[in-house]
Structure 1
Amino acid sequence: MTLNHILTTPALIARGAARFGTRTAIETAQGNLSYAQLDAARIEAARALMSCGIEPGERVAIWAPNVAEWIVAALAIHSAGAALVPINTRMKGLEAAAILEDSGARLLCCCGTFLGDSYPAMLAAHRPAGLERVVVFDGPAADASDYRDGRDERWDAFLMRAAGTSMEAFRAREAAVRPDTLMDIMFTSGTTGRPKGVMTTHGQNLHAVHDWAQIATLRESDRYLIVNPFFHAFGYKAGWLAAFASGATVLPHLVFNPERVLERIVRDRVSVLPGPPTLYHALLDMPDLASRDLSSLRVAVTGAAAIAPSLIERMRAQLGFETVLTGYGLTESCGFAALCRSGDDAETIATTSGRAMPGVEIRVADTNGDALPTGATGEILIRGYNVMQGYFGQQGASSEAVDDEGWLHTGDLGTLDERGYLRITDRIKDMFIVGGFNCYPAEIERLFSAHPAVAQVALVGVPDERLGEVGHAYVVLRSGEHASPEELTDWARKNMANYKVPRHLTLVDQLPVSAAGKVLKYRLRETVKSDEKTRENTAENTAAS
């Protein structure tokens, strides 16, 4: 059986166990799992899920950082025929509860404490009625007040439930997982302000994973340090799933710190290290970089922000990467669409997102959806096996995103050159990127509206030297209410993922609006630029005096 025929994750892992056996699949400080042990672990966890009553097609969520249990739980969910719902670790309880509610998840696997936050405690006050069980990977399960009727438990106690489901029953359930079975629902925010659940199947994801791994030249001998979070397609699909499709070893990494990452590269002989450009900038800025043995590094894949050709050259010369690639994709396209190829020059890698992957079409279109000539700017459309099945429970939004001819309308603007290489030029949507994380103003504005003192809020992305872009919020307070920018920012930190929290906040009496009452965000951006120019002039005059 060739890899091209492995179009479900249960079959992929079973094949890995048969082919690679004792080779290490996951390596952590807490212990290693061989491919055979990973196969056994996902079967045990899948049987436990079945004993909890999880049926095919139902949703199970994971809310945790990059730990081995995340991978085992995900593979178990897939093997039981259920759909995985990853939740961003930076989300607070209110945000996570909204994902759980909208997906209808019956069971949640989460960490106990991460970066000082107790996940069960954060969720307790907002927990949806439909969430029947919380399984905690690590540490004390939680205070009793965070639980319901004893149905929540630690991971080790949960695994003991596997005995309640026979291997015969599991094998029948596993055999029913087909390439067209729903594999996951990954929530992505949009201009409506409420996250939408993107549905994709086993077959389309594994097709894309296989092609991506081949283009990225992943090998059985590779040691893949995954800094990108597992809740994101970059760490999940182009991460551990691509590694397992190649027979490589996965090295999960919890929190990015350039010193710790350099230590791991040297100690663990890391060969594959994808990430956003900020990751490589941070490594290159380390003062003792030249004294480190980085000879194991081989493959880097980046994207999500503008890149200078000099960065590509430095990554090759100073970090020692043989292969440096950039790519483009959306959650709605399984995370994959375009990718550079090995051998592309630094200018191509830095200024484009590569060309379409095999079996994928990319069109730059006018407002009618008709293809534009080479070099012309228009909306980027994607068509192929990788386009989502739709948004969970949102047929109208699905029809708007994917037209009758199967083209996914990305909302991004770009051009195609004569070679078919894609260049992203702008965004139709207001989305901006903070350190590699997509921020959607409508969603953040909706979250802000929960503050009792806020009447209106409008958010725009503004340039930032370190993070690329950050949010600038313009807030109108309710009549008679008082709140300082500092108080509003502190509230946002407690109720939003940190990358969503505006780095700048200005109180205004009113927002600029059109005759139809629509907020004119271009006026706010002009205000930002004008204020920046005023500060520059003031600084110059001060220096001159």
Structure 2
Amino acid sequence: MDTIPAILRAAAERYGDQPAYVEGARAVSFAELHDQVRELARRYVGHGLAAGEPVVVWGPNSIEWVIAALATTYAGGTLVPANSRYTGHEVADLVDRTGATVVMVADGFLGRSQVQELRAASDLPSVRAMGELSRLSLDHRGEERHVREVTIDEVEARADAVSPDDVADILFTSGTTGRPKGAMSAHRQSIGVARAWAELGGVSADDRYLVVNPFFHSFGYKIGILVGLLTGATLYPVATFDVDQTMQLIESERITLLPGAPTIYQSLLTAPGRAERDLSSLRLAVTGAAVVPVVLIERMRDELAIDHVVTAFGMTEAVVVTMCRDGDSAETVATTCGRAIPGMETRIDAPAGEAGELLVRGDYVMLGYLDDPAATAEAIDADGWLHTGDVGVLDDEGNLRITDRLKDMYISGGFNVYPAEVEQALMRMDGIQDVAVVGVPDERMGEVGKAYVVGTASADEVIAFARQRLANFKVPRLVETVEALPRNLSGKVLKNELRK
């Protein structure tokens, strides 16, 4: 039963009329979810989606996002989530590189016209149909093509034909080259890691799970949507985080699960009016994605009265690698990322007790990068160890502590930002001769980007240029003009000097 269509069917049979999703005044049961997924899968197939073909889903968290994603795999396709903050240029690149034949878009999100942005960025030659997420509508592209009537039996046959080893999803992550890479996972991997996380967290059908983590991210998709199907937990999707609305939801819906980046909990702790809210229903919080202060863990336990607070380490290429366990001390939870989860193992590429690169191996390490065997071979060695690019140490109990990054990636508000990608975008700007971007500490976001620019472009011009081409979390918040960037003899920018 290690395919996504199979666990959806099983959830519909087991949990039936229980609510799978609640969004505002709307609730969708597991049985209704299954019906709606099958219907959209039927229309995907009618518009020509073949088994194995990619479907790009671009939008914020919503019930419709879930239906569009699950319908993709039900029809035998491969899900390609796109960051809801991406520009049309960034999403068009994903569409063109994957050869996606269907694109589902939340047109109008944040006051933008995503469809117009896409069409301005690319002719989208592979796309046969584009759909609007809010209506789950599909429009065929090209007069020579016709929509075919498809029966539910044909759709069920598609779902039956899906194998645990088929590619379920391709999640894009940037690398040090600045070009996003597509990490491919099989159905058995995406489901297996969700099952392991759910078991460690003790998730059940009694839980009410507020999903602030974006569905386009592995945490929101695999540790959100798939966990819900496996456990019967009710999910509450949040499109954009608002601390007052979040507290209201926790109180009114008696939310029990709230995983998220440290910034989520810091916002709750400092929110005006928190004392008047009853947040006592929260029982599990899982955080990570950045260094977590010990005092934050203590305050989450004491002031937010969350019973079970744990930290974890993961990455797009492996989703979840390590996780703390119930009963770990606040010090362990805050200063380490816990121990390897079942099915995974960790190793430090250094003598015992010393810091070195973290290597991980196991069931949930990606199949590889889409159409990039060289990058795959560089990331995963002949013995199956994934080289993470993070520097860490393991204690005697196997708890992992991340101490540094081999790569220049920094984390802003819970999102990974890869400076090379930002630098490549900025180098296209008139008035910039050279540029380097580093992450600098920020009280609210954890880290934000700072661009060191050689050239005549002003700080406001640089930021405005970046906003047109990059998702908001990638846009540098600070710009400093310098005469030259510090480089070594081989020409590499000495970013440690810039950070100082």
Task: Give me the TM-score of the superposition, normalised by structure 1.
Answer: 0.88
Q: How does 1:44-59 map to 2 (within 5 A)?
A: 44-59=39-54
SS in 2 for 1:184: strand
In 2, Cα distance between equivalents of 1:308 and 1:441: 25
2:73 to 74, 78, 85: 78
Whether contact under 8 Å (1:132, 1:151) holds in the other structure is: no
Point out 4+ residue stretches in structure 1 off by more than 6 angstroms.
139-142
Check the 8 A contact 1:112/1:140 in 2, yes or no: no
Q: Indicate how the Cα distance of structure 1 residues 279 and 84 shifts in structure 2: closer, same or farther if over 3 A, else same.
A: same
User: Per-residue CA shift, 1:509-543, capped at 9, x if unaligned?
Assistant: 322222222222223223xxxxxxxxxxxxxxxxx
Deviation string for 1:215-247 (max 9, x for gaps)? 011111111010111101111111121122111
Residue matched to 1:201: 186
Deviation at 1:139, TM superposition (A): 7.3
Q: Name the CA distance, whole Å, in 1 between partners of 2:62 and 2:153.
A: 29
Tell me the TM-score normalised to structure 2 length.
0.96
1:518 to 487, 492, 495: 492
Task: State how 1:40-189 maps to structure 2 within 5 Å.
Answer: 40-127=35-122, 128-138=124-134, 149=142, 164-189=149-174
The answer to whether the 8 Å contact 2:452/2:479 transfers is yes
Tell me if structure 1 keeps the 8 A contact 2:130–2:141.
Answer: no
Secondary structure at 1:459's aligned position in 2?
strand
Tell me the residue number matched to 1:258.
Answer: 243
Distance 1:182 1:475 in 2: 41
Alignment partner, residue 350 of structure 1: 334
Aligned to 2:258: 273
1:498 matched residue in structure 2: 472
Matches within 5 A, 1:359-378: 359-366=343-350, 372-373=351-352, 375-378=353-356
Q: Matches of 1:149 and 1:452 in 2, distance apart?
A: 38
In 1: Cα distance, 2:331 partner to 2:132 partner = 47
1:455 is displaced (CA, Å) by 2.5
- The separation in 2 between residues aligned to 1:392 and 1:319, in whole angstroms, is 42
The answer as to 2:230 corresponding to 1:245 is: yes
> Secondary structure at the residue paired with 1:515?
coil
Please report how far the alpha carbon of residue 150 of structure 1 lies from its aligned counterpart in structure 2 after TM superposition. Answer: 7.2
Q: What's the offset of the Cα at 1:450?
A: 2.3
2:321 counterpart of 1:337 = yes
1:402 counterpart (380, 400, 405): 380
Q: Which residue of 1 aligns with 2:458?
A: 484
Distance between the aligned counterparts of 1:511 and 1:137, measured in 2? 45
Structure 1 partner of 2:406:
428
CA deviations 1:446-488 (Å, max 9, x no partner) are 11122233232111111122211111111223xxxx5322111
Find the aligned partners of 1:488 and 1:454 in 2 and give their Cα distance. 9
CA distance in 2, matches of 1:150, 1:342: 58
Query: How many Å separate the matches in 2 of 1:24 and 1:376?
Result: 49
Give the length in aligned residue pairs. Answer: 499
Paired letter, 1:361: E
Counterpart check, 1:388 vs 2:366: yes
**Is the 8 Å Cα contact of residues 219 and 248 (structure 1) preserved in structure 2?**
yes
Question: What is the rounded CA distance, in whole Å, between the counterparts of 1:207 and 1:305 in structure 2?
Answer: 25
Q: Which structure's CA Rg is the greater one?
A: 1
Separation (CA, whole Å) in 2 of partners of 1:444 and 1:423: 28
Superposed displacement of residue 133, structure 1: 2.2
Partner of 2:267: 282
- Whole-Å Cα distance in 1 between the matches of residues 191 and 141 of structure 2? 37
**Deviation of residue 101 (structure 1)?**
1.5
Residue identity opposite 1:284 in structure 2: L
Distance change (3 Å), C-alpha of 1:140 and 1:252: closer
Q: Which amino acid aligns with 2:151?
A: S
1:183-226, Cα deviation, whole Å (9 max, x unpaired): 00000000011000000000011111111001011111111010
Q: CA–CA distance in 2 between the matches of 1:189 and 1:429?
A: 11
Conservation of the 8 A alpha-carbon contact between 2:87 and 2:471: yes
Of 291, 313, 317, the residue aligned with 2:302 is 317
Letter in 2 for 1:304: A
Aligned-pair RMSD on alpha carbons?
2.0
Identity of aligned residues (%): 45
Match of 1:332, SS? coil
Aligned pair partner of 2:432 in 454, 458, 470:
454
Give 5+ residue unaligned stretches, structure 2.
Answer: none
Shift of 1:508: 2.6
Quick check: 2:47–2:128 contact (8 Å CA) kept in 1? no
For residues 450 and 150 of structure 1, the distance between their equivalents in structure 2, rounded to whole angstroms, comes to: 37
Contact residue 112 and residue 139 of structure 1 kept, 8 A: no
Residue aligned with 2:488, SS:
coil
